[in-house]
Amino acid sequence: MAKIKTIETKEAPVAVGPYSQGVETDRFIFISGQLPVDPKTGQMVEQDIKVQTDRVIENLKAVLKAAGLDLSQVVRCDVFLKDMNDFKEMNEVYASKFITDPKPARQTVQVGRLPLDALVEISCISNNVKGDLVQKGGDVAKEGYESQKS
């Protein structure tokens, strides 16, 4: 049976309900939806979609770092927007943070309301491969994930 481990860090906002900041399994890391809360102050950042998106992704990075990983190993993101009219500006910030290829698979949806009346929330799933070696279709590749080309 696979081991499941909780991921916690003070560098991201504490979970305010019965859930974990992240959960680690043998193969994947699941990061709970992050809100635009500054972990140092416990307060939400200003009501600007770019500022909030940046803070959310920094919170995701902090949880990934606590697991020994980074954004380059993220395979999927789920983005929840209060208003789909913010898509373009959110996407600009998102693109500036997820710079390695391949980019994560992603879905973006508009929701009725987010906790704390945030403008954006993002969750993600990452490979759970640490160090210089990354599993690639049964082979091992050095220095990060590279997509295979047919």
pLDDT at 140 over 70: no
| Tens-place pLDDT, residues 13-55 | 998 789 999 999 999 999 999 999 999 999 999 999 999 999 9
- Rounded-to-integer distance, Cα 58 and Cα 61, Å: 5
The full set of domains in the chain, from first to last, is: 5-142 (3.30.1330.40)
Average pLDDT over residues 54-68: 97
pTM of the prediction? 0.86
Q: What percent of the chain has pLDDT over 70?
A: 86
| Tens-place pLDDT, residues 70-118 | 999 999 999 999 999 999 999 999 999 999 999 999 999 999 999 999 9
Q: Are strands 5-7 and 74-81 parallel, antiparallel or unpaired?
A: unpaired
